A and B are shown apart, each in its own frame.
Chain A
């Protein structure tokens, strides 16, 4: 297993270290645009936007570590290795998870540093971005849980296209349902949303996301193990 960790590190260390830079990104963006933002309220909004941009950048980089291993010869070789393809997939999942953790840690640390520096300048900033960043990190985990099986099953290019087709189909189905109000879905969605996002239930909804995301990530790993060998047969075509 150590060998696989070493292989991933050698192959992807640039992307892994980029997670720290992504955490620093909002800090840099704020410093770069410090003359545009003139009061604490604007600063709060700007920090939120910068954090979302950092998440998008980090998410893009996280998917890049899946590139390069969609070769038939690698698939056969790792299947015959002592750790097997399951070991390879496991290390891949652990690495992507470690990247999310590294990014969130870096983001929180630089945000707290920014808040401290802002307080020294006399700016009263409302709390750190952690409360906002942690749910986003779980969302990011959910997204990676869907990315990885597609990539392993269909390869990088094809996997991306198939995932895109599924996403577009999903959006179209939801849009059609909402627009035509089939099965009274507007009311159902509105009522569910109203019940879910009340002040009392908000922490429960967050709690459910906190548990569902790691569970989905684990299920995604099991699915990837199941589909990997089928995927290997289709690589290099």
Chain B
């Protein structure tokens, strides 16, 4: 049994390393602007930094490399894999499409033909199987390591909340990149950063639930991949529609950007707390 002190120490080392890598995006921004190669290498290092940080921490603290949650458990967890594919896809679709429909611009959705939608879903499914593994660089760290260390310290609710904030904060260098390079305002960068933080905190609850249910980080990897890739897919289909140059949505529809993930966060938080209650009762 690992003591709380050990967990805190390991968590501290992990976060220090992960955030040290993320600050490289700020520190090396000038060489990144002048060289595509440097930009690529730093971006790759940044993406893999949570996994690298977890491996370094495991090595440094002598914790070892067991319980990295790397088993696929595909047959037993097929329904969770399906959920990890479907739920982010539906949530992202609602997030993007409901504001368009609610504003009375259904005609913009002419790109969403049955053949196009079917093709997108199938390509996403195939890609989720083949190229989602890149997201292991994040999930091995956040869900596979950080959450495990946070739970004894902060409990389930605290882990979801603090873990979500930490995850969002780690993305901060990306959000302010435009401002630092002089092509955006600080206000816009901060809005993006806090918007992402809210979304990731809610989405992180779902990923944590998936990891706990399956004992594997792979469903979280798939869900995270679909979260990223389905945004591109929906945008690509939107671009095929007849959207005017000066298109603008009603102000009230901005709320839909957060509603799907707020609901997901709330539902899976309840499920996580219920699971914990059941585990305590059976113990």
Contacts and interface: CB of A to CB of B under 8 A. Distances in A.
Given A113-B40, A203-B116, A204-B115, A210 B133 contact: no
Interface in A111-160: 112-113, 115-117, 119-120, 130, 134, 137-138
Given A112-B40, A210-B122, A211-B122, A201 B115 contact: yes
A138 B121 contact: no
Interface in B54-83: 71-72
Interface in A1-32: 1
Nearest to A201: B115
Interface in B128-176: 129-131, 133-134
A200 B130 contact: no
Q: For the complex, would chain A's binding face be called helix, strand, loop or mixed by DSSP majority? A: helix
Interface residues of B, number: 25
Given A203-B116, A211-B122, A117 B129 contact: no
A113 B119 contact: no
Contacts of B40: 112-113, 116
Contact of A137 (B115, B121, B130, B134): B130
User: Is the interface on chain A under 10, 10 to 19, 20 to 34, or 35 or more residues?
Assistant: 20 to 34
Nearest to B72: A94
Contact of A134 (B36, B125, B127): B127
Contacts, number: 69
Interface-central residue, A94, A108, A211, by most chain B CB under 10 Å:
A211
A25 B130 CA distance: 20
A16 to B, nearest CB: 14
A44 interface: no
Contact of B37 (A120, A130, A213): A120
A109 B116 CA distance: 28
Nearest to A202: B119
A64 interface: no
A24 to B, nearest CB: 15
B39 A116 contact: yes
A145 to B, nearest CB: 13
A65 interface: no
Contacts of B134: 105
17 contacts: A100-B130, A104-B131, A115-B36, A116-B36, A116-B39, A117-B37, A138-B130, A201-B115, A204-B119, A207-B121, A208-B122, A209-B126, A210-B122, A210-B125, A211-B122, A211-B126, A214-B126
- In the complex, the 10 A-B pairs of residues with the closest C-beta atoms, listed nearest first: A210-B126, A207-B122, A116-B36, A207-B119, A116-B40, A203-B119, A119-B36, A204-B119, A116-B37, A211-B122
Interface of A: 1, 94, 100-101, 104-105, 108-109, 112-113, 115-117, 119-120, 130, 134, 137-138, 200-201, 203-204, 206-211, 213-214
Interface of B: 35-37, 39-41, 44, 71-72, 115-116, 118-123, 125-127, 129-131, 133-134
